[in-house]
Amino acid sequence: MKQKLFAANWKLNKGPKETKSFFEEFLPLLPQESQAQIVFFVPATNLESTAQLLSQTKIHFGAQNCYSQLNGAFTGEISAQIIKEIGARYILLGHSERRQIFKESDEFIALKGKLVQSLGLIPMLCIGETLEERDAGKTEKICEAQLVSFMKSIDLKKDWVVAYEPIWAIGTGRTATTQQVSETHAQIKKLIQREGGSSQTLILYGGSVKPENSKELLAIAEVDGFLVGGASLDPHSFSKICL
Ligand code: 13P
């Protein structure tokens, strides 16, 4: 069985002070023997403090985005090279908020995936459909387009992770049903293998995951873990999801 992965996406929340108090509360809540892999995607400004706070633990951390080039005249952008230097292991790419608010294209995201892997870091690609697309029966097509362009750019022999996040389930309290999750994850798994990827690639679910629904969702065979937004901001809620 694949080891489950639990990822927290803090989005634009928590400064260094709150990060410190979060981990002071969160770390004692995890049982010593816990085998869960945990990753925190913190705001870029907190990467350094997160690195220090997690240095004695097995928990990984990462950035929520990076630029498609390592350095140069790109004022205000974040370099994967610098993220790596701070000690991050993962970089989240293509979150629907990046796609929708910041107009990131599949091609741009694919470039970043290649760059992230070239540094030995692990890209976590977010994919997912809008409610209109689901209602129009286009979920598989949308996931396919987002996946295929990324897979063509990265090295499929190196690690990468997929997070399926239906946009209509993000921050809405409306979780996809177990049948919708199971069906879509199975389609994603098939697509990955069709494109020459591995059956071992982790496929996480994201979208209003909370302690009240996490056990049921994790019981779905095709779900390898979660990418959690809102509920990851509270140490107690997120620790319950990771247990
Ligand atoms: P919520 O868990 O708040 O719905 O957010 C999901 C998400 O966007 C994680 O990346």
- Using the predicted structure, report yes or no on whether residue 33 has a pLDDT greater than 80: no
Give the CA-trace dihedral at 227, 219, 213, 215, to 10 degrees. Answer: -100
Which domains occur in the chain, in start order?
5-242 (3.20.20.70)
The model's pTM: 0.97
pLDDT value at residue 1: 67
Ligand 1 binding pocket includes 230 (Cβ within 6 Å): yes
97, 104, 165, 185: the catalytic one is 165
Task: Quote the CA–CA distance of 156 and 197 in Å, as a whole number.
Answer: 6
Distance 72 CA to ligand 1 centre (A): 32
Distance 73 CA to ligand 1 centre (A): 32
- Using the predicted structure, report yes or no on whether residue 118 has a pLDDT greater than 70: yes
Task: Quote the CA–CA distance of 239 and 129 in Å, as a whole number.
Answer: 28
Q: How many residues does the chain have?
A: 243
pLDDT value at residue 3: 87
Ligand 1 binding pocket includes 227 (Cβ within 6 Å): yes
> Which of the listed residues 12, 124, 165 should we mutate to test ligand 1's pocket, taking the one with most ligand atoms within 8 A of CB?
165
Confirm whether 24 is a catalytic residue.
Answer: no
Lowest mean pLDDT among 99-108, 173-182, 232-241: 173-182
Confidence band, pLDDT 50/70/90 cuts, at residue 174 = confident
pLDDT value at residue 173: 80
- Cβ partners under 8 Å of residue 19, min gap 6: 42, 46, 49, 50, 53
Across the range 39-44, mean pLDDT stands at 98
Q: Report the nearest atom of ligand 1 relative to the CA of 97.
A: 8
Ligand 1 binding pocket includes 127 (Cβ within 6 Å): no
Alpha-carbon distance values, 210 to 28, 71, 189 (Å): 20, 38, 24
Q: Report the nearest atom of ligand 1 relative to the CA of 210.
A: 2
Mind giving me the DSSP string for 141-169? HHHHHHHHHHHHHS-TTS--EEEE--GGG
- Cβ partners under 8 Å of residue 165, min gap 6: 95, 96, 126, 127, 128, 205, 206, 207, 227
Across the range 51-75, mean pLDDT stands at 97
60, 95, 97, 185: the catalytic one is 95
From first CA to last CA, the distance across the chain in angstroms is 17
Confirm whether 60 is a catalytic residue.
Answer: no
- Using the predicted structure, report yes or no on whether residue 131 has a pLDDT greater than 70: yes
Ligand 1 binding pocket includes 129 (Cβ within 6 Å): no
Across the range 19-31, mean pLDDT stands at 95
Closest Cα partner for 164 from 135, 132, 134? 134
Instruction: Give the model confidence (pLDDT) of 189-242 as tens digits.
Output: 999 999 999 999 999 999 999 999 999 999 999 999 999 999 999 999 999 999
SS3 of 104, please?
coil
